[in-house]
Amino acid sequence: MSPAAWIAAGAFLAAQWRTAGPSGVMRTAAPFVALVLAVRSGLLGGVVAAVAVRLFEETLTLLGRRRRLERLRDASEEPIQAMFEQASLFGSAELCALAALPACGPRLRLLWQRALAEWLRGSASEDAFRQVGRAHGLPLLVQLGRALSLSRRNGTPLARHLAILLEDAAEDRRRRRAAESQTFPYFAATAALAGIVLAAAVWALAAGVGADHWIAIAALLTAGSIPLATARLLP
Partner 1 sequence: MTGWLLPVAVLAWIAGGRRRGQIVPYALGALLGPVALLAAGVWAPAGAAVRSAWRRIGSAAAEDAVRRGVPVLLTDLGMAAEAGQPLHAALRDAADYSDGPLAAALQRFGSRVDAGASVAQALEALRRDLGTPQTDRLIGLLSRDAQLGLPLAASVARYRRNWLSEAAHEADRTVAYLPYVFTAVAGLLLLEGIALAAAPWLMSLLGTL
**Interacting residues toward partner 1 by CB under 8 A:** 42-44, 126, 130, 139, 142-143, 145-147, 150-151, 153-154, 156, 160-161, 164-165, 168, 171-172, 175, 179, 182-183, 186-187, 189-190, 193-194, 196-197, 200-201, 204, 209-216, 218-219, 222-223, 226, 230, 233-235
We find the least distance from the C-beta atom of residue 201 to partner 1, in angstroms, to be 6
* Single-letter code of the amino acid located at 92: S
CB of residue 212 vs partner 1: minimum separation in angstroms?
3
Q: Where are the alpha helices (DSSP H) in the chain?
A: 3-41, 43-75, 77-86, 93-99, 106-120, 125-135, 139-154, 158-207, 213-231
Nearer to partner 1, 28 or 222 (CB): 222
Q: How far is the CB of 8 from partner 1 (least distance, A)?
A: 29
What one-letter code names the amino acid at 26?
M
CB neighbours (10 Å) of residue 231? 17
Which of 57/126 has CB closer to partner 1?
126
Q: Report which of 67, 95, 99, 68 is spatially closest to residue 81, judged by C-alpha positions.
A: 99
Least gap, CB of 37 to partner 1 (angstroms): 12
Smallest distance, Å, CB 102 to partner 1?
25
Q: Which is nearer to partner 1, 74 or 172 (CB)?
A: 172
Closer by beta carbon to partner 1, 94 or else 171: 171
Are 192 and 39 a contacting pair, CB within 8 Å? Answer: no
Helical ranges in 121-157 per DSSP H: 125-135, 139-154
Mapped onto helix, strand or coil, the DSSP state of residue 181 is helix
Closest CB to partner 1 among residues 114, 152: 152
